[in-house]
Structure 1
């Protein structure tokens, strides 16, 4: 097994891993997670300050 064959196989494995992660991230099951993350900048800072004071 020479280095070029190894590089080709490694490239294919990384490519398919990337595609798998991409499909997982954009699946319909993750929609609620995306919506919750999108709302984070709009939430009030009071909740964060209260949590820090209780520490």
Structure 2
């Protein structure tokens, strides 16, 4: 009985996170994060100067 309730709660939490992540409000953040590896660094780091 307890394991069934625990499983149902975890399923609801999972679906809630999934809906939050795929909401239209999050798209600009994910798009910006996806482009990060493709952008050049504007300022050199100490490792680059050495």
Tell me the C-alpha RMSD between the 2 structures: 2.0
The offset of 1:43, in angstroms, is 1.1
The corresponding residue for 1:19 is 15
Task: Give 5+ residue unaligned stretches, structure 2.
Answer: none
Q: Aligned match of 1:32 in 28, 33, 46? A: 28
Tell me: higher relative CO, structure 1 or 2? Use CA pairs within 8 A at least 6 residues apart.
Answer: 2
TM-score w.r.t. length of structure 2: 0.81
TM-score w.r.t. length of structure 1: 0.74
Measure the CA separation in 2 of the matches of 1:6 and 1:28: 35
- Residue 47 of structure 1 aligns to a residue whose secondary structure is coil
Measure the CA separation in 2 of the matches of 1:13 and 1:48: 47
The offset of 1:47, in angstroms, is 3.4
